[in-house]
Amino acid sequence: MGRGRLWTAAAVALLAALLAGSAGRAGTAGHAATPKRNGSDQRFVPGQVVVGFRPNVDPVTRRLVLADEGARTVRTQLGAHVVRVRGAVEDVVAALEANPAVAYAEPNWIYQADAVPNDPRYSQDYGLTKIQAPAAWDVTTGSSGVTVAVVDTGVATDHPDLSANVVPGYDFVSGDADPRDFNGHGTHVAGTIGAAGNNGVGVAGVNWNVHLMPIRVLDGDGRGSSANITSGFYYACTHGARIVNASLSGGGYYTPMKTVISSPDCANTLFVVAAGNFGISDDTFPRYPCNFGAGSDNLPNVICVAATDQNDRLASFSNYGIRSVDLAAPGVDVTSTWPAYDTLYTEGFEDPPAGWTSIGAFGRSALHANGSYSMSDSPGGNYVPGFSYARAPGPVASFSGRIGCQAAYNLRFDTPAEDFSGVELSSDGFAGSDLWSGWAGSSGGSFLPLTSDFSALDNAPSISVGMVMHANDDATVGDGGFLDDLRLRCLRPNAEAYDTISGTSMATPHVAGVAALVLAAHPAYSTAQLVDAILGSTDAVAGLSSKVVTGGRLNACRAVGGACPATPPLTPPACVVPNVIGAKLAAAKARIKARHCRVGKLSYVTSTKKRQGKVLKERPSRGKRLDNNARVSLWLGKGPKKHR
C-alpha cells in the first residue's frame, strides 16, 4: 500500500470508529467500554447483575422476575438487588431491561484507578504521559505473546528492569548467542519498549510485559555493517518477531536489506526505524532504512519516526520528510535503562601525573571539564606532526574476568580529518598490543563526554593506559586534544543503571512499543492493520503538518482503541508586535509574521504630526501582546506614502 493510500485508509478507518462511537457507550471506538469476560480484561464482576425494580412492584413479583432469568439475590444495596446469574451477563441484562417491572439492569461494573506504575523513575519520563500511555494501559499493559526485536548494540540482558522480558537473541558482531550490550544505546531503546512495569524498579516501558529479542548488529562504538544489520533483520523475521525496532540510520541504499524487508518471511513483521539526527529532510537526502518506506520502494511494513520535545516541537536535530517520515514521537531527554559498570581506574589529572612518560609535547593544561586541569598533547600551542603519546607507568587496572570494558572520558579536540587525538590501552605494557581510540574534527571548543570500546581487551590481567596523538606528516595541524576525567570500566552483572539521552533513536522505540501494545490488544491484526492503527491515531501538531506524513505525534491510547482523555488544543503563541519603524515593507512584514501576528495594511507615511497622530491610533505599542488572529497596521516612518 502506498504512503498516500495508506494514510487515506487510516483516516477512513478512524472515521468509521468515530461514527461507531457516536451510537452509544457500548460501541465506542476500539470497544473501550464494552464488557469483556476473559482474564485480566474483565470490566465487570463475572456472573453478577445489579437490578432495580419499579416502586410499585411487590416482593413476590420481584422474586418471580429474577427466577425466570435464573438469578439469585446475593445482597441488596440501597434498594437494588445484586444477583448471581448463570447465563451471559449481557444476555441477562437485556432480558431484564425488557421486563416492565424492571427499572434498570446493569453489569456489576469494576472500577479501577488509572494504570500508573509504582516504578520510582516513572515520573522522569514525560514521553509516556505525552503519548497517553496511562490511558492505553487501561486497555492493556502488553503481552508476552508479542515479540519485539531490538536490532541495535545489544541489550543488558541481566538488567533487573529488563531481564524478566528478555528472550534469546543473537550477536552478529561476535557471531555468538550472547548479545549483551557494550555500548548502552540498545539497552536504552529496550527499556523504552519494555522495561518491566509496576515492579518497583527503575522505569516503566511502554509495555510492562512483552518479549524483547536482543539482536546485536552494532559494536561497542555504535557502528555496524549493512550486511550484519540485514542479517539481524532476517533473524528477527524468522524467529517470531512481529516488530523490529531499528534505531539506526545513515547508510546508503542497500539492495539486500530492501530484499529482506520486502520478502515473504518478513511480510508479517513491522519495521519501525529512525529518521536520523542531522536536522535535514529525508525527502531530499534519502537515508536508509527509513526511505525504504517511501519513493519507488514504498514498502508497506516500514514506519519512519522523527523526534519531538516536551512541547511537541520537532527536535532541532531530527530529520523530517513530508513523504518519507511518517510521524513523530518523544525523543528529547528520554530516561531509560542503561548498562551498569564497575569503575576500575580513574585519573582526573589534577595532580601532576607522576612517572608518566611521553614522546611529544604532552603535559597538563588549565583547560578542563572538571577540576582545574586536563592532559593535553599540545599544552602550549598546536601539536606537531607525527605520532606522540603520554603513558602511565606500569599497569593501572586488571580486566581479568571482566567483559564489556571501555574507557569513558571528557575530551576537547580540534584536528583535521586526517589526524586524531584520544586514548590508548595495552595488555602488555605497550610492547605491541596497544589499541587506539581517537576522535578527529572539532568539539566546538567544549569538552564532550565520550566512550571508547576496549572489549577486545576483556579478561586481560593487566591494563596500561595513555593518551595518544596521531598526526600525519603534513603541516596542517590544530589545537589538538585535551583529556579529562578518564575512567576505565567494565560491565557489572545483574545491576541496574539509567541514563537520559536524546535522538530519533529514542523516539523510535516509543512507536515500536505502541505497536506491541496494539498487538497485545488485537492479536489478530495484520501488519497493514497495525500500521493503520498507529498512523491513523496520531495527535495533530501544527509544527509537524509540513514535516511528517501524518502531521502528528504518536498517541498510544488512540492506537489501542482506548477511552482517551481529550487532547488539549495547543495554545498558539501570542502575537507580540515588534518594532519595525523605519524598516522596508518586506522586512517589516516578515518580522511581524515571525512574531505570530497577522499582517494588515502597512504604510510608509511622512512624519507630520497630523499624519503621525492619525496612524498611531491604529498601531499597537511595541511589545503589546494580542490574539494571534489580530491584524496589525503599522506606521513605518518617514518616506513616500505607499500601500500594500
To the nearest 10°, report the CA torsion of 311, 315, 319, 320. Answer: 20
The CATH 2.60.120.260 portion of the chain extends over: 344-491
In 3D space, the residue among 75, 74, 69 whose CA is nearest the CA of residue 102 turns out to be: 69
Q: What is the pLDDT of residue 73?
A: 86
- Distance, in Å, from the CA atom of 491 to the CA atom of 399, rounded to the nearest integer, reads 10
Q: What is the pLDDT of residue 590?
A: 63
- Whether the pLDDT of residue 608 is over 60: the answer is no
Under the banding of pLDDT at 50, 70 and 90, the label for residue 115 is low
- Distance, in Å, from the CA atom of 441 to the CA atom of 49, rounded to the nearest integer, reads 72
- According to CATH, the topology of domain 127-338+499-560 is Rossmann fold (3.40.50)
The CATH 3.30.10 portion of the chain extends over: 575-643
Cell of 532: 493503520
In 3D space, the residue among 364, 359, 358 whose CA is nearest the CA of residue 392 turns out to be: 358
Distant-in-sequence, close-in-space partners of 578: CB < 8 Å, separation ≥ 6: 591, 592, 594, 595, 622
The CATH 3.40.50.200 portion of the chain extends over: 127-338+499-560
In 3D space, the residue among 14, 20, 192 whose CA is nearest the CA of residue 550 turns out to be: 14
Q: What is the pLDDT of residue 378?
A: 84
Query: Helices 3-21 and 527-535, interaxial angle, to 10°?
Result: 70
- Distance, in Å, from the CA atom of 124 to the CA atom of 310, rounded to the nearest integer, reads 12
- Whether the pLDDT of residue 576 is over 60: the answer is no
Per-residue pLDDT tens over the stretch 586-597: 666 666 655 555
Q: What is the pLDDT of residue 437?
A: 92
Cell of 399: 580486566
- Distance, in Å, from the CA atom of 226 to the CA atom of 80, rounded to the nearest integer, reads 68
Amino acid letter, 88: A
DSSP 166: B
Per-residue pLDDT tens over the stretch 382-428: 777 778 899 998 999 999 999 999 999 999 998 887 888 999 999 99
- How far, in Å, are 182, 192, 370, 444, 512 from residue 309 at the CA level? 28, 16, 29, 24, 18
- Distance, in Å, from the CA atom of 245 to the CA atom of 504, rounded to the nearest integer, reads 12
Residue with cell 500500521: 531
Q: What is the pLDDT of residue 597?
A: 54
- In whole numbers, what is the pLDDT of the chain averaged over residues? 83
Q: Which CATH number is 7-109 given? A: 3.30.70.80
Under the banding of pLDDT at 50, 70 and 90, the label for residue 580 is low
Sign of CA dihedral 85, 90, 95, 100: positive
- Distance, in Å, from the CA atom of 460 to the CA atom of 371, rounded to the nearest integer, reads 31
- Distance, in Å, from the CA atom of 559 to the CA atom of 543, rounded to the nearest integer, reads 21
- Which residue did the predictor score with more confidence, 574 or 165? 165
Lowest mean pLDDT segment, chosen from 42-51, 101-110, 239-248, 393-402: 42-51
Rg (CA), the chain: 32
Per-residue pLDDT tens over the stretch 296-335: 999 999 999 999 999 999 999 999 999 999 999 999 999 9
- Whether the pLDDT of residue 642 is over 80: the answer is no
Beta bridge partners of 52: 104
Under the banding of pLDDT at 50, 70 and 90, the label for residue 625 is very low
85 within 8 A of 71, measured Cβ to Cβ: yes
- Which residue did the predictor score with more confidence, 630 or 299? 299
In 3D space, the residue among 580, 582, 614, 609 whose CA is nearest the CA of residue 597 turns out to be: 580
Cell of 630: 489580530
Per-residue pLDDT tens over the stretch 169-223: 999 999 999 999 999 999 999 999 999 999 999 999 999 999 999 999 999 999 9
- Which residue did the predictor score with more confidence, 468 or 45? 468
At the top level of CATH, the class of 575-643 is alpha beta
Q: What is the pLDDT of residue 32?
A: 23
Under the banding of pLDDT at 50, 70 and 90, the label for residue 16 is very low
Greatest C-alpha distance within the chain = 107
Q: For domain 344-491, is the CATH number 2.60.120.260? A: yes
- Distance, in Å, from the CA atom of 407 to the CA atom of 424, rounded to the nearest integer, reads 9
Q: What is the pLDDT of residue 252?
A: 86
Per-residue pLDDT tens over the stretch 249-300: 877 899 999 999 999 999 999 999 999 999 999 999 999 999 999 999 999 9
DSSP E strand boundaries for 474-607: 480-491, 497-501, 539-540, 552-553, 575-576, 598-604
Distant-in-sequence, close-in-space partners of 631: CB < 8 Å, separation ≥ 6: 598, 599, 600
In 3D space, the residue among 7, 559, 10, 534 whose CA is nearest the CA of residue 323 turns out to be: 7
To the nearest 5 percent, what fractions of the chain are helix, strand and coil? 25, 30, 50
To the nearest 10°, report the CA torsion of 514, 517, 522, 523. Answer: 110
Lowest mean pLDDT segment, chosen from 304-308, 363-367, 639-643: 639-643
